[in-house]
Structure formats: C-alpha cells, structure tokens
Amino acid sequence: MTPSFWQKCLDALEHELSPQQFNTWIRPLQAEVSKDRVCLFAPNRFVMDWVTERFQSRIEELVSAYSDTGTLPVRFEVGSRAQVTNSTPVMTQEPGVSGESPSVSERAKPDYRRSKLQHNYTFKSFVEGKSNQLGRAASMQVAENPGEAYNPLFIYGGVGLGKTHLMHAVGNEILRNRPSAKVLYLHSERFVADMVKALQQNAINEFKRFYRSLDALLIDDIQFFAGKERSQEEFFHTFNALLEGQQQVILTCDRYPKEVNGLEERLKSRFGWGLTVAIQPPELETRVAILNSKALQTGVELPSEVAFFIAKRIRSNIRELEGALRRVVANSHFTGRPITVDFAKEALHDLLALQAKLVTIENIQKTVAEYYKIRVADLLSKRRNRSIARPRQVAMSLAKELTNHSLPEIGDAFGGRDHTTVLHACKKVASLKEEDQRIAEDYANLLRILTT
C-alpha cells in the first residue's frame, strides 16, 4: 500500500467536489494507511462529523476502488498523525513538560520546545523605553532570583505592548541560568483546556501534580479566566501551592487585576501579593528604537527618517508596527527598490488609509456635483450645455474607473443614457486630460477625494 493510493482517492474527490468543499473539508484530513485499514484524522470533531455525515460512504467506495486489496475499513478520528504516534498520557503530552527528571545530556541544554518559550524573546531583543522601564527592571530581578524577588510578578497593559515578550524573556533567562529548571509558558486558554481535559479523563490529580511541580509558571492574558469559575478554583490552588513552594509565578493581563470583571476577589487580592507593574504604550522614540531593533534582527538597513515616518503613523501597538515594517521590507525585496520615506509611504498606503471608502455611482455623482457646484439632478438631466455636460462626462468616467458596473448600468444611472454615451464620455475625458491641465487636475482631485 503506497501513499499514492490515498492520493488517488483525493484526486477523485477533488474532481467531484467544488474547490471550496474540497479545501474546507477534505484537504485538512490526514491519512494513515496500513495493511488492514485506513485511518483519517480530522483536526477537530466538527470536521470529522461533517465529513462522516456527507462523504463517508463515497470515501469508502473510493478506498475499495483504489486499494490493491479491495475493501478496507475506513476509520475517522480526531487528531493528527504526529499526535497519535507520540500519544502519551494527558499531562506529559499536553503541557509539554515531562514530570520525570531529565537525563544528564538533557540537563546540558535548556529545552525551549517543552517550555513553549519563544527563544527569540529575550531581554536583549527587548527595547527599553520610559513606557516599560519598570516592567523590564522587575522582570530582570525575577529572572535573577526566581521565586524570591517578586512573587507573583503581574504585568499588565494594553494589547501588543510587549507583555508577552517580557514574560518569555524571564523564562528564557531562568533557563539560561539553570538549564534543568522546569519552566512553562502558556496562554490562559491552554490552562483552561488542560484542566477540562484532565477532568474529562479523570486525571485531575496528575494535572495538579504536574502544574505544582514547575519551577516557574508563566500564564499569559489571565483576563480570559473571567467567568470560568472551575478554572479559577483550580488555578487558585495551583497558585497557592507554587507560592508556598517559592516557585515563580508570572502573569500578564490587559488591565489592573482589580479591574478584571468576573474574577474572584481572593484571586485578585493574591495577585497583588508580589509586584504589579504596568506597561504603557511606547512613546515615539521607543517606537523608532523598536523598528530599528526589528530591522536589525531581520538584517535590513532601515534609514532613521523611514523609522520615524513609520513610528509617527503607527501608534497603536508594537505588533502593528512590526506588521508595517514587514510590509515595507517585503515590498522592497519584491521591487528591489531601496527603503526611503517615499517608498514606505507608497508601500503602506493602503494600511494608512484605514477607512477604505466604498465607491458607488451615487457617491461619485454627489461628489462631482459638489465639486462643480451643480446639483445631482443636473447630472441626470437632459441638459447639454458644457457647464453640465463636462462634469457629467467626468462623473461617468470616474464611475467606469472606480466601480465594476457595466457601461449600460452606468448609462442607466445617468438619466437612462446609452452605453455608447458612456464610452464616448470616457474617451472624451481621457483626451481632455491630455490637453487641458485644469480637467486633469479636477480629475485627479476627484479621484483623491473618492478614494482616500
């Protein structure tokens, strides 16, 4: 049995289904073919149910038709090939940190994969500014003396300001100083999911044992614990046990702990036992420094005036700053052009124009009428004197350029005119733009008004 056997089934399904159906329901399936069966893994129950309900019998037919050995049972499961092959009990698999002592060779090197830490989020790559000075200093102290300096360390602030980066930096530093340390980073959603799974599998004791055995537990975005009472209860006990054992806890949140609705009072008050630090949005100089640092990491030379240009316009958060830089760099790689302010302005044009206006014929008529100080009714009327006809031709031409309406539709919208009139108007405006500077300017102005 070769992998091409399943490929043949896929080819047949791709031919029979619409591209959308195939890409949504069949492409995500992973097949494991053995001598006596075919196992199809779906990423979740939703996909599995949908596929079994609608396609199971057809898939079975195809399997029988293409397999060398005739009819083969087809089994559907939730999961993926890799996960199932490495299947291990819930707590060692799920949080990714084994409860066993590491071997000598393992001790030599920190295991970033199991800790779920992003190895590039370090103190070195974290750009310090007024907005995050305190948070950085506290995090460094915690990294030097985990469990002793500030416990818990509670970092809060708006989205995309670097809370997660700081948290990972502490974890990475702890591992650098003590490679055998058991550090785990996870998002609050993952903690909740692990707990639910443990409850379902009757493994809550393993869950507790596992989380309480960590040297440092880093939980991101704890505001998502709000309203999840059972998770809060479990977390409360884990939290207490870790603090008692002088194991480090670091938490991030989008606001000050007392302001999180739906969080138990006892948790809120315990969060204040250690140190609570805020991270503010970075000021201009810090945003420039962040851009320079990110550019350096990707090996790109970013002129300082370009860094200032981007930093002045993208103020919201660092994530979007990074996105903007990536866009400029990608554009420069593609075109081979050097990164200048004009270049950045062009590359980010659509990103900076946040409100993309929807251009309609009505909108064009209104704008053109206002521009030429005439009434929309004039544009739609039969009047043919130049002070009306010219704006009408300009408006028709704009409608052809900015909308997808057919020429007959455009003609209709201008008082029931024929499509040849629209075609004539477009040709006329094109030639007038060449000959008459004023018309060219009017047209450019109107285009700008309508599209920005």
Partner 1 sequence: MSAQLPLGIGLRDGATFDNFFAGPNTEVVVQLERGDEPFLFLWGSSSSGRSHLLQAACQGMSGGGGGAVYLPLSDNVELAPEMLEGLETMALVAVDDLQQVAGDTEWELGLFHLYNRARESGCRIIVAADAPPGALGILLPDLRSRLGWGPVYQLLPLADGDKRTALQLRARRRGMALSDEVANYILQRSPRDLHSLFSMLEHLDRASLAAQRRLTIPFVREQLAVIRS
Binding site for partner 1 (CB under 8 A): 10, 15, 18-20, 23-24, 27-30, 43-47, 50, 78-80, 82-83, 116, 118, 158-160, 187, 189-190, 220-221, 254, 316-317, 319-320, 322-324, 326-327, 330-331, 334-335, 350-351, 353-356, 400, 404-409, 419, 423
Whichever of 276 and 317 has its CB closer to partner 1, that residue is 317
| CB closer to partner 1, 43 vs 245 | 43
Cβ atoms 27, 55 nearer than 8 A: no
Nearer to partner 1, 264 or 409 (CB): 409
* Distance separating alpha carbons of residues 309 and 317, to the nearest angstrom: 15
184 Cβ contact list (under 8 Å, min separation 6): 95, 96, 97, 114, 115, 116, 214, 216, 217, 218
Return the closest-CA partner of residue 302 out of 265, 343, 335: 343
End-to-end CA distance of the chain: 59
What is the smallest separation between the CB atom of 419 and partner 1, expressed in angstroms?
6
* Residue 70 beta carbon to partner 1: minimum distance, rounded to whole angstroms: 27
Our CB check for partner 1 shows the closer of 78 and 149 to be: 78
* Pairing verdict, β 153-156 and 275-278: parallel
Cβ atoms of residues 270 and 235 within 8 Å: no
What are the beta bridge partners of residue 250? 153, 218
Give min distance, CB of 408 to partner 1, in A: 6
Q: Based on CB atoms, which residue is closest to partner 1, 32 or 376?
A: 32
- Comparing CB distances to partner 1, the nearer of 145 and 331 is 331
| Strand order across the beta sheet in which 74-78 lies | 30-33, 38-42, 74-78
CB-wise, 134 or 423, nearer to partner 1?
Answer: 423
Smallest distance from the beta carbon of 430 to partner 1, in angstroms? 12
Q: How many angstroms from the chain centroid is the CA of residue 47?
A: 22
Of 370, 417, 371, residue with least CA distance to 396: 417
Q: Nearest approach, Cβ of 437 to partner 1 (angstroms)? A: 24
State in angstroms the smallest separation of the CB of 38 from partner 1.
16
